[in-house]
């Protein structure tokens, strides 16, 4: 490493200051602070998951309203909440598509009467719940990324996306 002494300024200080670079860096600093504020606002709004208005999404199907995460976080617990809207003795919930690769299930309340594997996911049958009743499925994202899964209740099925942040 070559030894190079800093220059001596007109005021006598021997210092390697670089005011031109420093001015540019101060501008970058201030832009960064605006970005920090945007991150905080995004966090409050739910865009980074963990609660907040935009962190959840609702999907209306013929037999239920499904409340699930829009933005979730890797290795953080989350949940899918189903509110049944029709009067039926049993409800069949299908979580397919990329569900198995994207999420693992922590717990299901109430316990389904029956569950079986389907391609890419699983199917659960709830009985004795009734209209207005709910079922809560605790999930944990397995990996960060954009997960696309199919969600079905009864004969109705739809595709939803969940963004999992690292």
Partner 1 sequence: MDAVLRGVAVYFVLLVVTRLSGRRTLAQTTPFDFVLLLIIAETTQQALLGDDFSITNAFVLIVTLFLTDILLAYFKQWAPTAELVLDGTPTVLMSRGEPDAEALDRARVSLSDILENAREKHGLQRLEDIEAVVLEVGGSLSIIPKEK
Minimum Å gap between C-beta 148 and partner 1 is: 24
What residue ranges bind partner 1 (CB under 8 A)? 1, 9, 11-13, 15-19, 21-23, 25-26, 28-29, 32-33, 36, 75, 166
**164 and 147 Cβ atoms separated by less than 8 Å:** yes
Our CB check for partner 1 shows the closer of 75 and 157 to be: 75
The separation between CA 101 and the C-alpha centre of its own chain, rounded to angstroms, equals 15
Minimum Å gap between C-beta 75 and partner 1 is: 6
Our CB check for partner 1 shows the closer of 18 and 131 to be: 18
Our CB check for partner 1 shows the closer of 25 and 53 to be: 25
Q: To which residue do tokens 């739809």 refer?
A: 158
**52 and 43 Cβ atoms separated by less than 8 Å:** yes
Our CB check for partner 1 shows the closer of 3 and 128 to be: 3
Strands 145-153, 114-118: pairing is unpaired
Strands 64-69, 78-84: pairing is antiparallel
Q: Which is nearest to 86 in space by CA: 156, 136, 137, 138? A: 156
Minimum Å gap between C-beta 42 and partner 1 is: 15
3-state DSSP call for residue 132? coil
Minimum Å gap between C-beta 87 and partner 1 is: 42
């Amino acid at each position: 490493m070559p030894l190079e002494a800093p220059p001596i300024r007109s005021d006598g200080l021997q210092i390697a200051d670089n005011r031109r670079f420093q001015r540019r860096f101060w501008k970058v600093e201030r832009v960064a602070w605006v970005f920090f504020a945007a991150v905080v606002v995004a966090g409050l709004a739910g865009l980074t998951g963990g609660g907040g208005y935009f962190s959840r999404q609702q999907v209306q199907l013929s037999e239920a309203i499904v409340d699930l995460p829009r933005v979730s976080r890797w290795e953080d617990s989350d949940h899918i909440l189903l509110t049944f809207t029709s009067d039926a003795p049993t409800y069949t919930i299908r979580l397919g598509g990329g569900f198995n690769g994207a999420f693992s299930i922590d717990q299901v309340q109430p316990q389904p009467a029956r569950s079986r594997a389907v391609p890419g996911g699983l199917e659960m049958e709830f009985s004795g719940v009734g209209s207005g009743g709910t079922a809560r499925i605790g999930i944990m994202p397995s990996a960060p990324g954009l997960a696309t899964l199919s969600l079905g209740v009864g004969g109705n099925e739809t595709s939803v996306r969940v963004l999992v942040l690292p």
